[in-house]
A and B are shown apart, each in its own frame.
Chain A
Amino acid sequence: MQIYLPIAEVSVNAFVLLGLGGLVGILSGMFGVGGGFLMTPLLFFVGIPPAVAVATQANQIVASSYSGLLAHVRRKTVDFRMGTVLMIGGLIGAGLGVLLFNALKQMGQVDLLVKLCYVLFLGVIGALMLVESLRAIRRTRRGGTVPRRRQRSWVHALPFKMKFRTSGLYISVLPPLVVGAAVGVLAAVMGVGGGFIMLPAMIYILGMPTKVVVGTSLFQIIFVTGFTTLLHAMTNYTVDMALALLLLIGGVVGAQVGTRIGMRMKAEQLRILLSLMVLVVCGKIALELLIKPAELYSLAGGAN
């Protein structure tokens, strides 16, 4: 069934979009990530203009994150205070990100920026995750215990300290603000929630306990991507409501299926799979930059 998207101004098969939403939903349910890093390239692939894909994707992440957050609120695994600090940083970052996005769009380099961000972040995080989970598997095979490290780092030496009771932390508000802002910029430019950067940063830089990071990250992602959606809607008019609706219907169903699959697998196996997937997406985008494209020319403005 073909459906004409009012903002993207292209006609796309509705079942393809539902399927894409479902596929990314399954993966996000399995691995506990938003899946934006997969969805945005897939949308480019089916012919959605990049600007619409990035903006609409942000709207869809609001829906899936809200659905996930409700489950975490019930389990009381959300640090609202930390989430709020991250969110303030995130909103500033998102504002800067949209400005950067628009400036580069004028210069015709927005594709390049988005692709470079993808290659860089997916490559680094995929590789780190792969190495870390391979090590974890080797450790469990050897039967050793996981070393518990909780050292005082430079993070604890900064001023403006604040108590985060749910996380059991007493640290400066500056690192969460900076982490939030960095993820905010990425959210606006890449059309992702930034969970795949936020989660490691919360664990390794801020030293938050693992059980609260997912819920807290989801809490702040809702606000940052919500704000990004509004900014894109108001400055670029590129949020496609019809597209978002189709993606999120597929997405929320897929997420529930994915959660069931995820529960049957070991955490290390899941992380290896996720890191491989991240690296495949990264490799594909990197190849596009390295191999001479078949069509050197591209059009912008008007119908494109």
Chain B
Amino acid sequence: MLWRAVVICLLTALPLRAEQVVAGLSQTRVSITTNFAGSEILIFGAVKRDAPLPADTSLNVVVTVAGPLAPVTVRRKGKRFGIWINTDAVEIDAAPSFYAVATTAPLTEVLSDTEDLRHKVSIPRAIRAIGAAEQSPEAARFTEALIRIRQEKGLYQVLPGAVELSEQTLFRTSIALPANLTEGDYTTRIFLTRAGAVVDAYETHIGVRKVGLERWIYSLAHEQPLIYGILSLVLAIAAGWGASAVFRLMRG
């Protein structure tokens, strides 16, 4: 029984593994330093083949980079008593703080809807908004607004044609990480697709971390808030006294 299962698995797995991703990243760590102004990540690789190149369909590559997931509240303004105030809100369960999807051709051409649903590749699928529909009949508009606002800030990027694929074997793309980046593990996924179906997938992580002074200030503020607050005040008092003393010297 077990043997038969293994054999079936091998038989079905073999055609799927006919093409495999071998990938690399220009960096697996991004350090947020005091003068951090964004970073560019180069993602490259090759397709390893055991079988001859299929002639009927063309190979496509999809690369996604996703920041850590966090709940987001989307609020909408409405006119009440003559002024514009926040009237409706929808809580979205989990949305990546950053999301980029780069492809060799428009995403709808390289990936079927079923595969998109399974692997959650396109931006609307990468956002988990299951509970949102119960909160408002117009929940979809709130999700659209979330995508629109983050696209404007460069936090969500759709990059069709940004992956260069040469000789059906070597591919490369670069993803620009903006300056207003949050900390966390950024999941990088690479999909090989043929006729809309995923042939092989590869996943790795990029660690985005604050370092040095940034790290120290951030940890202190969150772990020792009282000490941090007192330190901020001491700094302010010292600066105020210093300024007063310096200018008194200059006048005297």
Contacts and interface: CB of A to CB of B under 8 A. Distances in A.
Nearest to B182: A303
- Which of A1, A237, A241, A302 gathers most chain B CB within 10 Å? A302
A257 to B, nearest CB: 10
A64 to B, nearest CB: 6
A229 B35 contact: no
A290 B80 CA distance: 10
B217 A242 contact: yes
Contacts of B180: 9-11, 303
Contacts, number: 187
- Which of A111, A232, A233, A300 gathers most chain B CB within 10 Å? A233
Interface in B214-241: 214, 217-218, 221-222, 225-226, 228-233, 235-237, 239-241
A233 B83 contact: no
Interface string B68-97: 001111111111001111100100000101
Interface string B52-79: 0000000000000001001111111111
Interface residues on A, range: 35 or more
A109 interface: yes
- Which of A2, A9, A10, A289 gathers most chain B CB within 10 Å? A9
A291 to B, nearest CB: 8
Chain A interface, DSSP helix/strand/loop, else mixed: helix
Interface residues of B, number: 63
A10 B179 contact: yes
A-B pairs, 7 with minimum CB distance: A66-B240, A233-B229, A252-B243, A11-B179, A297-B145, A302-B70, A63-B236
Interface of A: 1-4, 6-7, 9-11, 59-60, 62-67, 70-71, 108-109, 111-112, 226, 229-230, 232-234, 237, 239, 241-242, 244-245, 248-249, 252-253, 255-256, 288-293, 295-304
Given A7-B217, A298-B86, A299-B149, 20 more contacts: A10-B180, A63-B236, A66-B236, A67-B241, A67-B243, A233-B225, A237-B225, A239-B232, A241-B221, A241-B232, A248-B240, A253-B243, A289-B84, A290-B84, A291-B84, A297-B75, A299-B73, A299-B146, A301-B71, A304-B72
